[in-house]
Structure 1
Amino acid sequence: MADDHTDVQEFFSARAADWDSRFPDDDPAYAAGVAELGLRHGDVVLDAGCGTGRALPPLRSAVGPAGTVIGADVTPAMLAAARRAGRDGSGSLLLADVAALPLRSGSLDAVFAAGLIAHLPQPGENLREVARVVRPGGRLALFHPIGRAALAARHGRRITEDDLRAEPNLRALLDGSGWRMTAYTDEDHRFLALAVRQNKDVDDALGGNREQ
């Protein structure tokens, strides 16, 4: 694992055991966010930074038994919590760093990422790595079950202009990372940015193959 993720691992390791009980009403929001990806039966989808795996059951329902669902997280304790909740029955769990995904280039149809972007040590590089493993025209959902203002208030903060998830900042970040933003929603009850993997020739810049 990358050293940059040490703080993330420590933060989530300390909270993994009671994470779901702290946010017991989030499952419908996850299901609604997954629905926005427009997945089809048979698709291959990654839940990047899957945590306790709350998105895995709706992802499995969306792609059906012929599809492939992978949940990747850098924190072993969160993956252990996902297993205790039985969510490994909906997808394969993978201990992996989004900075270096052990997946083949262009092997995925879509990526769902809940709460991930705030924890990326190098957002541009990390989103380029996510783009590497998605086929051209594939889709990305950056999701959170509450919006930016509500999340900031939860942590006793205020939103600033340099917030990475502000629409102009996020659009520019995605544009420079192999993605094109297609939708943006920031409401009290959810945050959701949708993007499509660009078709232009960016593969050389995004790197080579890594096998799962």
Structure 2
Amino acid sequence: MSNGREFFDKIASQWDSTRAVDSKKIAALVEMVGLEPGFSVLDAGSGTGVLLPFIKKAIGSAGKITAVDFSANMLAKAEEKYGSLGGISFAVGDIMEFVPGHGVFDAVLCFNFFPHIMDKQKFMTHIRVLLREGGFLVLMHDISRQQVNAIHQDSEAVKNDRLAPGETVSGWLTTAGYQVTQIIDAEDRYFIKAVKS
């Protein structure tokens, strides 16, 4: 995973210019998540913080966000852009070793990040510990699985970081102790919601 960290640290300064942010689509994805005012949310693999303003809008001033990423440079960009929103803490570290300093989360969101996790089953089990009963993990992309895999295939650093079909990932989640409530594996988005049961 360390060569991945170097890759993301290196491209952090240009990252936001490499892909257009479709605000409407991201807002629609976040709406599907079902966040509520006052929620405590973990943004796993936050990167440059694309999701942060959308989460903040959904959970309001009483809500709290923890943004975690293993790339210090990516997270510095996120803090520079969205630190002023308030109620957001930024933690540089490996999500697989992350332990919050407070209780548990109502929701863990994984936006455009899941393929970069090497041990996906271990990740699901680890995240389950960080969720309250009835809390949920959401894996989502604002493009199709095919597009994600095509983009990664063209880059030496992430060419093996694949996004599996929704049904496959759903099976992993069920094995890890979640109840999968929604799967969208479409040509314009990828969205899986799983509740800690």
Short-chain TM bin: 0.7 to 0.9
Say which of 120, 143, 163 aligns to 1:123: 120
1:45 maps onto 2:41 in alignment:
yes
Distance 1:17 1:174 in 2: 34
Q: Which amino acid aligns with 1:54?
A: V
Q: Provide the residue aligned with 1:193 in structure 2.
A: 192
SS in 2 for 1:41: coil
SS in 2 for 1:28: helix
1:179 maps onto 2:178 in alignment:
yes
Q: Which amino acid aligns with 1:120?
A: I
Q: Deviations over 1:132-170 (max 9, x none)?
A: 11011111110111011222333457xxxxx65212310
Q: Provide the residue aligned with 1:137 in structure 2.
A: 134
1:54 maps onto 2:84 in alignment:
no
Distance 2:102 2:178 in 1: 15
* Displacement after TM superposition at 1:106 (Å): 5.9
Q: Which amino acid aligns with 1:9?
A: R
**Residues 43 and 63 of structure 1 are in contact (CA less than 8 Å); yes or no, is this contact kept in structure 2?**
yes
SS in 2 for 1:189: coil
1:16 maps onto 2:12 in alignment:
yes
Distance 2:187 2:120 in 1: 24
Q: Provide the residue aligned with 2:84 in structure 1.
A: 89
Higher mean C-alpha displacement, 24-33 vs 121-130: 24-33
Residue segments in structure 1 that go unaligned for 5+ positions in a row: 158-162, 199-212
Instruction: Give percent identity, aligned residues only.
Output: 31
Q: Could you state the TM-score of these two structures normalised by the residue count of structure 2?
A: 0.87
**Residues 67 and 91 of structure 2 are in contact (CA less than 8 Å); yes or no, is this contact kept in structure 1?**
yes
Number of residue pairs aligned between Structure 1 and Structure 2: 188
Q: Which has the higher helix share?
A: 2
1:152 maps onto 2:154 in alignment:
no
Q: Deviations over 1:19-72 (max 9, x none)?
A: 111112333332222111111111101100000001111111111101111111
Distance 1:127 1:155 in 2: 22
Q: Provide the residue aligned with 1:73 in structure 2.
A: 69
* Displacement after TM superposition at 1:181 (Å): 1.3
Q: Provide the residue aligned with 1:165 in structure 2.
A: 164
Distance 1:147 1:78 in 2: 23
SS in 1 for 2:62: coil
Say which of 25, 39, 43 aligns to 1:29: 25
Q: Could you state the TM-score of these two structures normalised by the residue count of structure 1?
A: 0.82
Distance 1:104 1:129 in 2: 15
Taking only aligned residues, the RMSD between alpha carbons, in angstroms, comes to 1.9
* Displacement after TM superposition at 1:74 (Å): 0.8
